[in-house]
């Protein structure tokens, strides 16, 4: 099996690559080749095989997507994208990467022809939904995004559905909750503070909280995000049916409950490293996001996430900190 990952240098892309290298298989199929693409050069995984290609390129640029498909990958994980805050402040860049890049990939698949029909897993977002919201977003809730990022993801979902309906590819779109706790340095995602108020205090650093403690949101760990992707790749068309875009499960909690989890696990001294500093742009963007999801279809199809936010904090400590917390 040949697997292509776009956005492979990103956090989820790196973790997905690591998992595939460890497993050496996807379902019942042995992975023989990996192709990794991102706007920056992805790291070549150690100890896999010589059958790995890495490339720094803009997926939306002419010819890039076609070149990525030269060896006809069997499974494509399309993770490449500009994050929410950057897509909102830079309209042209957001549409170029999030929409034009997706369309370039789908069109390149179509152009191969000759019976080529790969499995394509696309990472969408809960930002495709917009207020007013019910208590919990059902699987049938309409797409009314209130940000450019959400709009770009919604448009990509529709394209994925149409190309799947036409038999060009076998698509699955997974709407990720906010992935928390993200390792590494903060990015330009409006949701980044959900991770930073846990990550930085655990590392002995101060974190800034730009929204009220009452803000409620749904989260899943990076470990769960990789699990979502792998599970999506194993779903059959018969299992999924015509509605190929799914909201993923997660832990719904307030910022205050996040901080409570941090306090329980790491102590009040660590939680005291959070400084409250309102940011009007972040407040506006987050106010347009849904809070909780029923995710009944995803659960019925076997997708799973953490049960509590305490679990999410512990995943970060185990996976990123070697089980240790800074005093």
The residues spanned by each domain of the chain are 2-176+224-247, 192-217+251-320
Residue 147 is encoded by which pair of tokens?
Answer: 């940000």
Checking DSSP bridges between strand 2-6 and strand 75-78, what pairing results, if any? parallel
Quickly count: other Cβ atoms within 10 Å of residue 188's Cβ.
Answer: 14
Residue 327 has pLDDT above 90, yes or no: no
| Predicted local confidence at residue 60, as pLDDT | 97
Specify the pTM: 0.94
User: CA–CA separation, 31 vs 74, rounded Å?
Assistant: 10
- Please give the average per-residue pLDDT across 137-159, as a whole number: 95
In the chain, % of residues over pLDDT 90: 87
| Predicted local confidence at residue 14, as pLDDT | 96
| Predicted local confidence at residue 51, as pLDDT | 87
Torsion angle of the four alpha carbons 220, 20, 43, 55, in this order, in degrees rounded to the nearest 10: -110
What are the pLDDT digits (tens) for 259-307?
999 999 999 999 999 999 999 989 988 888 889 999 999 999 999 999 9
Please, which residues have CB within 8 angstroms of residue 179's CB and are 6 or more apart in sequence?
11, 12, 195, 219, 220, 221, 222, 225
> Any bridge partners for residue 124, and if so which?
175
| Mean pLDDT of the residues in the chain | 95
| Predicted local confidence at residue 129, as pLDDT | 93
Residue 187 has pLDDT above 80, yes or no: no
| Predicted local confidence at residue 198, as pLDDT | 97
- Minimal CA–CA distance to 194: which of 144, 261, 268? 261
Q: Which CATH class is domain 2-176+224-247?
A: alpha beta
- Please give the average per-residue pLDDT across 231-240, as a whole number: 96
Active site residues: 149
| Predicted local confidence at residue 84, as pLDDT | 85
Residue 48 has pLDDT above 90, yes or no: no
Dihedral sign for Cα atoms in the order 264, 267, 272, 275: negative
What are the pLDDT digits (tens) for 55-86?
999 999 999 999 999 999 999 999 999 988 89
User: CA–CA separation, 198 vs 317, rounded Å?
Assistant: 10
| Predicted local confidence at residue 286, as pLDDT | 85
Domain at 192-217+251-320, CATH from 3.90.25.10, 3.40.50.720, 3.90.550.10, 3.40.980.10? 3.90.25.10
- Please give the average per-residue pLDDT across 299-320, as a whole number: 97
């Amino acid at each position: 099996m040949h697997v292509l990952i776009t956005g492979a240098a990103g956090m989820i892309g790196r973790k997905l690559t690591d998992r595939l290298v460890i497993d050496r298989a996807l379902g019942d199929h042995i992975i023989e080749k990996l192709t990794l693409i991102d706007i920056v050069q992805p790291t070549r995984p150690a100890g896999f095989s010589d059958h790995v290609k890495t490339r720094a390129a803009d997926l939306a640029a002419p010819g890039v997507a076609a070149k990525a498909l030269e060896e006809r990958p069997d499974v494509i994980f399309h993770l490449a994208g500009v994050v929410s805050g950057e897509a909102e402040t830079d309209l042209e860049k957001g549409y170029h990467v999030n929409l034009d890049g997706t369309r370039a990939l789908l069109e390149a698949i179509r152009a191969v022809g000759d019976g080529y029909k790969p499995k394509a897993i696309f990472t969408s977002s809960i930002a495709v939904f917009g207020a007013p919201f019910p208590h919990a977003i059902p699987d049938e809730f309409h797409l009314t995004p209130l940000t450019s990022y959400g709009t770009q993801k919604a448009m990509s979902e529709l394209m994925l559905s149409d190309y799947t309906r036409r038999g060009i590819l076998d698509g699955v779109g997974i709407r990720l909750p906010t992935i928390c706790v993200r390792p590494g340095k903060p990015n330009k995602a409006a949701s980044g503070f959900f991770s930073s108020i846990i990550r930085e205090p655990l590392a002995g650093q101060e974190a800034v909280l730009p929204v009220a403690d009452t803000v409620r949101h749904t989260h899943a760990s990076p470990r769960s995000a990789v699990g979502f992707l792998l599970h999506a790749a194993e779903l059959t068309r018969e299992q999924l049916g015509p509605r190929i875009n799914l909201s993923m499960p997660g832990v719904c909690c307030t910022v205050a409950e996040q901080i409570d989890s941090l306090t329980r696990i790491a102590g009040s001294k660590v939680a005291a490293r959070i400084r409250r500093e309102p940011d009007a742009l972040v407040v506006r963007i987050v106010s347009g996001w849904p809070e909780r999801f029923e995710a009944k279809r995803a659960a019925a199809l076997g997708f799973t996430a953490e049960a509590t936010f305490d679990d999410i904090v512990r995943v970060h400590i185990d996976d990123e900190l070697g089980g240790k917390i800074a005093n």
